[in-house]
């Protein structure tokens, strides 16, 4: 289910864990994009990976297609870069450069990018909201 809340767009999936209990999984946008490529009935293993870089904790996801809906075994691992702050900052600088170009260089790209990054980071309280 795709929807919108006061925190921005969300991607909700019903998933089964190893004990066959059903849970809700709010997928990051990067994971949602990969899941959209699959077909109904495909079985996927999603692993959340947290690594520390200095004082910052980076989050990535790994999607492993266990088998396809036609029943064939398929061991395909797809790393998903879900470092939301990196993506937010990259998008902010790209947008700031577009703004600078439209205004014939009359603005400070760094200030615009930081302002956009802060605004995007506040959309869902702790991460990139779009």
- Per-residue burial over 39-48, b = 16 or more CB atoms within 10 Å of its CB, e = otherwise: eeeeebebee
- Tokens representing 73? 């075994």
What pLDDT is attached to residue 128?
A: 44
What pLDDT is attached to residue 126?
A: 43
What pLDDT is attached to residue 76?
A: 52
What pLDDT is attached to residue 64?
A: 85
pTM, whole model, 2 decimals? 0.50
Q: For the chain, 130 residues long, give each residue's pLDDT as a single digit of tens.
A: 888 888 788 899 888 877 778 888 888 888 888 888 888 878 888 888 888 778 888 888 888 888 777 765 555 555 555 566 777 777 888 888 898 888 988 888 888 888 888 887 665 444 444 4
Strand pairing category for 43-53 and 22-26: unpaired
Q: Locate the domains of the chain by residue range.
A: 2-78, 84-122
What pLDDT is attached to residue 125?
A: 45
């Amino acid at each position: 289910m795709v929807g919108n809340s006061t925190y921005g767009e969300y991607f909700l999936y019903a998933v089964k864990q190893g004990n066959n209990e059903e849970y809700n999984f709010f997928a990051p946008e990067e994971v949602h994009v990969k899941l959209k490529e699959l077909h109904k009935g495909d079985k996927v293993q999603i692993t959340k990976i947290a690594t520390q870089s200095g004082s910052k904790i980076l989050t990535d996801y790994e999607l492993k297609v266990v088998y396809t809906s036609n029943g064939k075994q398929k061991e395909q691992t797809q790393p998903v870069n879900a470092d939301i702050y990196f993506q937010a900052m990259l998008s902010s600088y790209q947008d700031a450069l577009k703004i600078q170009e439209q205004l014939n260089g009359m603005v400070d790209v760094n200030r615009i990018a930081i302002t956009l990054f802060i605004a995007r980071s506040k959309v869902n309280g702790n991460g990139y909201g779009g």
